[in-house]
Amino acid sequence: MTQSTSNSVIYLKDYLAPAFLVQGVELTFDLYPNQTRVFANIQFQRNAEREASLPLQLHGSDLKLISLAIDGVVLTTAQYQVSDELLTINTVPDQFVLTSEVEIDPANNTSLEGLYRSNTMFCTQCEAEGFRKITYYPDRPDVMAAFTTTVIADKSEYPVLLSNGNSVKRGDLDNNRHFVTWQDPFRKPAYLFALVAGDLQVVEDRFVTSSGREVVLEIWVEPENLTKCDHAMASLKAAMKWDEEVYGREYDLDIYMIVAVNDFNMGAMENKGLNIFNSSCVLARSDTATDAAFQRIEGVVAHEYFHNWSGNRVTCRDWFQLSLKEGFTVYRDQCFSADMNDAAVKRIEDVAMLRTAQFAEDAGPTAHPVRPEQFIEISNFYTLTIYEKGSEVVRMIANLLGEALFRKGCDLYFARHDGQAVTVDDFVAAMAEVSDIDFTQFMRWYSQAGTPELQITDQYNAEKQQYLLTFKQHTPATQGQKDKQPLHIPVKLGLLNQAGQDMALHLSEGEASGAQGDQCRVLHLREATQTFVFENVIEQPTPSLLRGFSAPVKVNFSYNQAQLLHLMQHDSDGFNRWDAGQRLAIDALKSMITAFNSGLMPILDTALVEAFRSLLNSSLSPAILAEMLVLPSEAYLAEQYEVVPIEAIHACRNIARKTLAQGLQVELKQCLQANLLEGNYRPVAEDIGKRRLKNTCLAYLMSLEAPEVVDQAWQQFNQADNMTDVQAALVQLVHSKQDDKADAALKKFESDWQQDALVMDQWFAVQASRPQPDALARVKALMEHSAFSLKNPNKVRALVGTYCNQNRVNFHSIDGHSYRFLADVVLALDKMNPQIASRLITPLARWQKLDLKRQGLMQAELQRIAQAKLSKDLFEVVNKALA
């Protein structure tokens, strides 16, 4: 018998169809915190596509097997084998019902995968491979079945019993126990199974679909959170409407439930008809949640809802295809949020995140293609590459087809594959079929890891009135992938004349879409080096390259300062106006960093001050202006270096902020004043933009710490009626040198909010990101705080995650103490929750871009971790980092 051993590598090329298919599943859960019994009746049928003699192999881990029977006949122990991960029955008929009984221990399941306890409730998380911790089953997405689930529990402790589909039967049993039976008519893979039991209350609403069906919408929460569900409910209804209008997709069941739980490994989970959410992605009230939280809730609620089609109705054949559902669904939620809010701002935020975090992942030791070809632990592949780069790939496809054809392609994909488990190739085939576009070369976006780099040069010939753009593309080698082939890269661009207007584009050489004479066209790069020739160019233009960030690539073009200012002020593409400003700032900061590293006084180029002054005096919308006034983050600046100058980046960025604040005091104060809001809090784009701008101005002014500004921050902290303003002021006070005010504000915040776990997460995060050198000591002390728990992922992310990822200057302190700290936390956490441990270690795994001293310190910690007995999750990441 071959059994998958721990830490073995699974390959896409080894994919085989399942040996057995499941026709139906009946589950019964008799819930007890430590000894839950799970009874399963599974109707199996041999898959005709596979050999007729194969044994039945079912996944299962951490299960105590009580009994097994086939067609009612109990099996003796000689008739099956059980290992840590598999149950094997060698001889089975072609069609049979397997009956099993197992015992599990939800109360001690700290991995938060499978069936576990969160506070007083039971809940589940099955994606990707958590169902095998519930019962023996072919736990793979290409085995789909209709589930009937009966949940039995104590009636007083767990009055609410939920599972997928419709409730069909309920009743009382002996010993104060009761049951509810749920039937899900849609065949689904086990990863979409869900169960919840608890003392919950509901906020209810209705949605009438475009075909006139009424759907009941329910959000289940702990009683104290009933007042925090309105925004999630409004977001859900908006998402349902949007999916009907934009994709023609209607909801299919009569009920849609969302449950908020405190202990959850990620944001949320799209279980059929019963989404389970991290409470941070559902609960919001103006006094408890920031604008960012409101927007995240809107996006995540929509994302999980959109999965009903892109993920549930049409699912993945195997986990290598994860981006088929995740990349596509992120693309869908990004478009939704763009439609609900300010589209240009949304695009800027998404790209800023991609270029900072996904590019770093793509250049680091865990780089992998959008469709990976191997893994040890699939949980490690819920990454920015699968999600965000995957979304960019879908966006490129959508742009290549245009709106109407993309919709047609989606319609074809959903119609053709409804109820199936399919691959990325099936998705692209539908797009190719409706458009006649050849995606052969494009498919390399799915198979090649690493961020492509474009080296672009230009040449203007005044005599011939010709303008030449030459593109060289190169994708760096990544682990396991040395030689990269040229990609098909769509580069949307325009040429600005000296008055700042778009010129008509006439191309004599090179492939492009858009008609001759259009002012914005898409060039199709396919070769390693390619030149495009524009005709009738009557003056030297300024190229506006990669408009809207038309491909997830790095663009190198040696713009001079005048060109960047020109683009920042005049580009018709909002994204590129912002990007030009970012490039200007990066150039200025880089000069300062060079000076700093040579022991000279770093001085900010006054041109940047004047550029920002012109922005403050312009008629840009508050939301865009706020984006444009924010200097590139320390993390993004780090991306610009082969060896990251940690201290220099931090110091120079601070000096630049102060210089800007000094030079623009008048404008910043005016702008702050002009963007004060009156009236009730509304989480709408217009107000969010104003609050963001006001708080950006406040942050600049606070960098000078003038007494009247400190007072203003203090007043805002004490008087604001919404968490966005309270939190913004708190950050400014806590990060300033005003220790008394900082302490007083933290105390007040703590006493106001100690009962609210989500608000306390913000309290932890604000302190974790504090730039003062005692930050590590404070973080360690906070880990002893009664509101902190290593078992709660939100707390770990808020305190340890924020410190290690966002407090770069302290995390990378040259004494190496923070590296040791993170390694200790990760080792402790790995025993409880491997998924969180392996995610948390990321900043330590990225030693390659630091100086030799830090590299040594970081590697030593990784080696120390590698010596311990590790989960698969952590083993895979640590070994890649050390390879």
| Catalytically annotated residues | 304
303 sits near ligand B3K (criterion: CB under 6 A): yes
The listed partner (Zn ion, ligand B3K, none) that binds 571, CB under 5 to 8 Å by sort, is none
DSSP codes joined into one string, 214-280: EEEEEEEE-GGGGGG-HHHHHHHHHHHHHHHHHH-----SSEEEEEEES--SSSEE--TTEEEEEGG
DSSP string, 3-33: -PPTTPPEEGGG----SEEEEEEEEEEE--S
Residue 89 near which of ligand B3K, Zn ion, none (CB within 5-8 Å, type-dependent): none
Between CA 97 and CA 138, with CA 26 as vertex, the angle to 5 degrees is 65
Q: Does 388 bind ligand B3K (CB under 6 A)?
A: no
3-state secondary structure of 187: strand
Q: Tell me which residues in 379-408 interact with Zn ion (CB under 5 A).
A: none
Smallest separation (angstroms) from Zn ion to the CB of 281: 12
In angstroms, the first-to-last Cα distance of the chain is 32
Q: Closest CB to ligand B3K among 192 and 221? A: 192
| Closest distance of CB 496 from ligand B3K, Å | 40
Which of these segments, 329-337, 392-400, 435-443, 834-842, binds Zn ion (CB under 5 A)? 329-337
Nearest distance, CB of residue 326 and ligand B3K, angstroms: 5
* Residue listed under structure tokens 């396919």: 526
In whole angstroms, how close is the CB of 459 to Zn ion at the nearest point?
Answer: 45
Nearer to ligand B3K, 215 or 268 (CB): 268
Can you tell me whether residue 428 is helix, strand or coil? helix
Q: Could you count the other beta carbons within 10 Å of the beta carbon of residue 594? A: 14
Under rule CB under 6 A, residue 269 binds ligand B3K: yes
> At residue 624, what is the residue type?
I
The answer to whether the CB of 524 falls within 8 A of the CB of 439 is no
**Cβ of residue 876: shortest distance to ligand B3K, in angstroms?**
14
> Could you say whether residue 382 binds ligand B3K (CB under 6 A)?
yes
Question: Token pair of 490, please?
Answer: 């769509």
Kindly tell me which of 269 and 857 has the beta carbon lying closer to ligand B3K: 269
User: Which residue, 356 or 379, has its beta carbon nearer to ligand B3K?
Assistant: 379
Q: Which of 203, 232 has the CB closer to Zn ion?
A: 232
Binding status of residue 266 toward ligand B3K by CB under 6 A: yes
- Scanning 64-72, 301-309, 442-450, 761-769 for contacts with ligand B3K by CB under 6 A, the matching segment is 301-309
The Cα 800–Cα 839 span in angstroms is: 12
Among 26, 142, 263, 270, binds ligand B3K (CB under 6 A): 270
The answer to the question of residue 377 lying near ligand B3K (CB under 6 A) is no
Q: Which does 473 bind (CB under 5 to 8 A by kind): ligand B3K, Zn ion, none?
A: none
How far apart (Å, rounded) are the C-alpha atoms in residues 738 and 707?
A: 10
From 320-328, 410-418, 749-757, 836-844, span contacting Zn ion (CB under 5 A): 320-328
Of 174-182, 266-274, 552-560, 767-775, the window that binds ligand B3K (rule: CB under 6 A) is: 266-274
| Residue number with CB closer to ligand B3K (126 or 646) | 126
Please state the closest distance from residue 303 (CB atom) to Zn ion, in A: 5
Nearer to ligand B3K, 124 or 181 (CB): 124
Q: What is the 3-state secondary structure (H, E, C) of 29-63?
A: EECCCCCEEEEEEEEEEECCCCCCCCCEEEECCCC
Which of the choices ligand B3K, Zn ion, none does residue 266 contact, using the CB cut-off of 5 to 8 A by kind?
A: ligand B3K
Looking up tokens 């019994």 gives 37
Contacts of 40 (CB under 8 A, 6+ apart): 25, 26, 27, 28, 98, 99, 100, 101, 102, 135, 136, 137
269 binds, among Zn ion, ligand B3K, none (CB under 5 to 8 A by kind): ligand B3K
Which residue in this structure is represented by tokens 């594959």?
Answer: 417
559 three-class SS: coil
| Binding span for ligand B3K by CB under 6 A among 137-145, 177-185, 263-271, 283-291 | 263-271
* Interaction residues for Zn ion, span 752-811 (CB under 5 A): none
Could you tell me how far CA 226 lies from the centroid of its own chain?
27
Instruction: Report the partner that residue 128 touches, choosing among ligand B3K, Zn ion, none (CB closer than 5 to 8 A by kind).
Output: ligand B3K
Check residue 127 for interaction with ligand B3K (CB under 6 A). yes
Measured from the CB atom, the residue of 243 and 270 that comes closer to ligand B3K is 270
Q: Are 48 and 86 spatial neighbours (Cβ–Cβ below 8 Å)?
A: no
| Nearest-angstrom CA–CA distance, 874 and 883 | 14
Q: Does residue 258 interact with ligand B3K by CB under 6 A?
A: no
Q: Which of 100, 262, 366, 379 binds ligand B3K (CB under 6 A)?
A: 379
**Interaction residues for ligand B3K, span 314-333 (CB under 6 A):** 326
147 binds, among ligand B3K, Zn ion, none (CB under 5 to 8 A by kind): none
Contact 172, 206 (CB under 8 A): no
* 217: β partners: 205, 256
Task: Specify the stretch interacting with ligand B3K by CB under 6 A; choose among 264-272, 452-460, 685-693, 798-806.
Answer: 264-272
The answer to the question of residue 128 lying near ligand B3K (CB under 6 A) is yes
Q: Do residues 91 and 53 lie in contact, with contact meaning Cβ atoms separated by under 8 Å?
A: no
**CA 878 remoteness from chain centre:** 22
Separation between Cα atoms, residue 268 and residue 260, nearest integer Å = 9
Question: How many residues line the site for Zn ion (CB under 5 A)?
Answer: 2
Q: How far apart are CA 431 and CA 443, in angstroms?
A: 12
Can you tell me the distance from the alpha carbon of 205 to that of 82, in angstroms, rounded to the nearest whole number? 47
d(CA 516, CA 345): 30
CB of 233 to ligand B3K, least distance (A): 19
Task: Please report whether residue 873 would count as binding ligand B3K according to CB under 6 A.
Answer: no
Question: Minimum distance between the CB of residue 281 and ligand B3K, rounded to whole angstroms?
Answer: 10
Residue nearest to ligand B3K according to CB distances in the complex:
127
Cβ–Cβ < 8 Å for 804, 818: yes
Q: Which of 128/503 has CB closer to ligand B3K? A: 128
3-class DSSP assignment, residue 525? strand
* Residues engaged in binding Zn ion (CB under 5 A): 326, 329
Which residues here bind ligand B3K, judged by CB under 6 A? 127-128, 266, 268-270, 303-304, 307, 326, 379, 382
